[in-house]
């Protein structure tokens, strides 16, 4: 499963009404650190498919949602569970740190 593009219009359906936890990446095209973490988020979306959805919100194309959640700097990662923001991290971090953060919040890889 790859990352999902989310807009102001689709946020309610794609994030708040999701049956699985959703990690939302607030980013912009001009943001270097955002581009740095993008490959890690793509890999995590594959590795944790079914356990978490990775969604990306471009703050310039969809400014309402970042404003509603008080996004001040990017990249900002927010984990939503059951329609509520459960945890947040600001700034770029390596893939392993993102995985550790997800595990701390209870997101685990599905075992076959």
Q: Does residue 109 form part of some domain? A: no
Q: How many domains does the chain have?
A: 1
Q: Does residue 92 form part of some domain? A: yes
Q: Does residue 45 form part of some domain? A: yes
Q: Which domain holds residue 43?
A: 4-104
pLDDT given for residue 112 in this prediction: 47
Q: How far apart are CA 37 and CA 63, in angstroms?
A: 21
Residue 31 falls in the annotated catalytic set: yes
CATH code, domain carrying 90: 3.40.30.10
Q: Does residue 8 form part of some domain? A: yes
Catalytically annotated residue among 6, 22, 24, 34: 34
Catalytically annotated residue among 6, 15, 31, 59: 31
Q: Does residue 13 form part of some domain? A: yes
Q: Quote the crossing angle between the two packed helices 95-104 and 32-47, to the nearest 10°.
A: 60
Annotate 31-81 with DSSP letters as a single string: -HHHHHHHHHHHHHHHHTTTT-EEEEEETTT--HHHHHTT--SSSEEEEEE
In order along its 112 residues, the chain shows pLDDT tens digits of: 689 999 999 999 999 999 999 999 999 999 999 999 999 999 999 999 999 999 999 999 999 999 999 999 999 999 999 999 999 999 999 999 999 999 999 988 765 4
Q: How far apart are CA 80 and CA 83, in angstroms?
A: 6
pLDDT given for residue 1 in this prediction: 61
Chain centroid, CA 55 distance in Å? 5
Q: Does residue 73 form part of some domain? A: yes
Q: Does residue 20 form part of some domain? A: yes
Residue 86 falls in the annotated catalytic set: no
pLDDT given for residue 109 in this prediction: 73
């Amino acid at each position: 499963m790859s990352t999902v593009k989310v807009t102001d219009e689709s946020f309610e359906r794609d994030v708040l009404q999701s049956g699985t936890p959703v990690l939302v990446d607030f980013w912009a095209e001009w943001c270097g650190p955002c581009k740095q973490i993008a490959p890690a988020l793509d890999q995590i979306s594959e590795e944790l498919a079914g356990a978490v959805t990775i969604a990306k919100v471009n703050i310039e194309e969809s400014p309402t949602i970042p404003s509603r959640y008080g996004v001040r700097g990017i990249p900002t990662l927010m984990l939503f569970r059951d329609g509520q923001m459960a945890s947040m991290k600001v700034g770029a971090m390596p893939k392993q740190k993102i995985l550790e953060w997800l595990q701390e919040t209870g997101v685990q890889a599905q075992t076959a």
